[in-house]
Amino acid sequence: MGRYVVRRLLQMIPVFIGATLLIFLMVNVMGDPIAGLCGDRQCDPATAAQLEKEFGLDKPVWQQYLTYMGNVFTGDFGTAFNGQEVTELMASAFPVTIRLTIVAILFEIVIGITLGVITGLKRGRPVDTGVLLITLVVISVPTFVTGLLLQLLLGVEWGWIKPSVSTDANFDELIVPGLVLASVSLAYVTRLTRTSIAENKRSDYVRTAVAKGLPRRRVITRHLLRNSLIPVVTFIGTDIGALMGGAIVTERIFNIHGVGYQLYQGILRQNTQTVVGFVTVLVLVFLIANLLVDLLYAVLDPRIRYA
């Protein structure tokens, strides 16, 4: 297991370098960041030259990337165009989005897997048909529609929640935004769990466990559920990074100053340092989440062993 982890960590290095290089190149072709600094009026040549030299934009792109990566490995993600360190923006944004992601993942695990198990065991019955119909509707409706609808009903019309989240962004304030963020993924988790349970229910090892006289609860939790959760764990693991990076719409609706908000502001103002810095950390989140998913396979399925 230890050798496998070391090998996977070494494999992450070229993936990380390739992903960050691609992101750096894409962000640098978004537009002229100096023009964004000057607003509507055009910068005079002297001011533009001074700003380009100050932020290192006068150098070739490959040299900018090497300088940036060298600073990243020392913990320096650069300075935003407003003079604030990118690490300071991360320190205030990532804890908020992490809490929001935790709430969303809990919804996926608790509600999604529970509904998937129930519908998988009762395949073809009215409850199965009803849940499949509801999940199809959730998948079909865009996230911003779901968010605005819940904000209008729960926050404005009925007054059950605050329409916008405070700057503290406590867990109790993030329940509804977390549900909105997890809504589409929750529907996919339900359908994926349902399909996996329904297929494995007819497997030989389940028939053997039932024939041995094991209690129904033990057959479901110890044998059927563990093997059925492998594709679900894969989806949830890769969804962690997607939720953190894709929270722009949800955070905009509920006025949450997290990663999505900072990415939106960085793209809007063509602030390359902010965008590249935040996306670099999100790449690391994706890589670590995938490693943890692979390690969980061995926990769920005893037949899987890593040499």
The CATH number given to whatever domain includes residue 154 is: 1.10.3720.10
pLDDT for position 47: 66
Average pLDDT of the residues in 87-101: 89
Considering the domain architecture, whether residues 98 and 206 belong to the same structural domain is answered as yes
In a domain, 84, yes or no: no
Residue 82 belongs to a domain? no
Which tokens go with 231?
């594709």
Is 289 a member of any domain?
yes
User: Is residue 35 very low, low, confident or very high in pLDDT (cuts 50, 70, 90)?
Assistant: low
Same domain flag for 57 and 163: no
pLDDT at residue 104 in the model? 92
Global pTM value:
0.82
**122 with 67, same domain?**
no
- Kindly state whether residue 62 falls inside one of the protein's structural domains: yes
Q: Which domain holds residue 1?
A: 1-74
Pick the last residue of a domain from 74, 104, 135. 74
Judgement on whether residues 159 and 65 belong to the same structural domain of the protein: no
40 within domain boundaries = yes
Euclidean distance between CA atoms 168 and 258, whole angstroms: 11
Residue 186 covered by a domain: yes
> Where is pLDDT greater, at 153 or 213?
153
Structural contact between residues 24 and 41, judged by C-beta atoms closer than 8 angstroms: no
- pLDDT at 48 > cutoff 80: no
Q: Is residue 29 part of a domain?
A: yes
Judgement on whether residues 193 and 286 belong to the same structural domain of the protein: yes
* Same domain for 59 and 127: no
To which residue do tokens 């990380």 refer? 16
Do both 150 and 282 map to the same domain? yes
pLDDT over 90 percentage in the chain:
14
Question: Under a CB-based contact definition with an 8 Å cutoff, are residues 259 and 245 in contact?
Answer: yes
Q: Does pLDDT of 188 surpass 90?
A: yes
d(CA 177, CA 165): 9
Phi, psi of 4 (to 5 degrees): -65, -45
Residues 70, 93 within the same domain: no
Tell me, yes or no, whether 36 and 67 share the same domain: yes
Residue 81 included in any domain: no
Judged by phi (left if over 0) then psi (alpha if -120 to 50, else beta), residue 95 lies in alpha
Query: Total structural domains in the chain?
Result: 2
Q: Which of 9, 44, 74 is the last residue of a domain?
A: 74
CA distances for 264 relative to 152, 239, 245, 300, angstroms: 23, 20, 11, 38
Shared domain for 30 and 174, answered yes or no, is: no
Name the more confident of 40 and 5.
5
- Contact between 259 and 247 under an 8 Å Cβ cutoff? The reply is yes
Residue 36 pLDDT > 70: no
Q: Are residues 38 and 118 in the same domain?
A: no
Same domain, 68 and 205: no
Contacts 24+ apart (CB under 8 A), 106-109: 106/178, 107/178, 107/179, 107/182, 107/186, 108/182, 108/185, 108/186, 108/189, 108/236, 108/239, 109/189, 109/236
Domain closes at, from 21, 49, 74: 74
The tens digit of pLDDT for each residue in 287-307 reads 888 888 777 776 666 666 655
Helix (H) or strand (E) holding 183: helix 175-200
Would you say residue 106 has pLDDT above 90?
A: yes
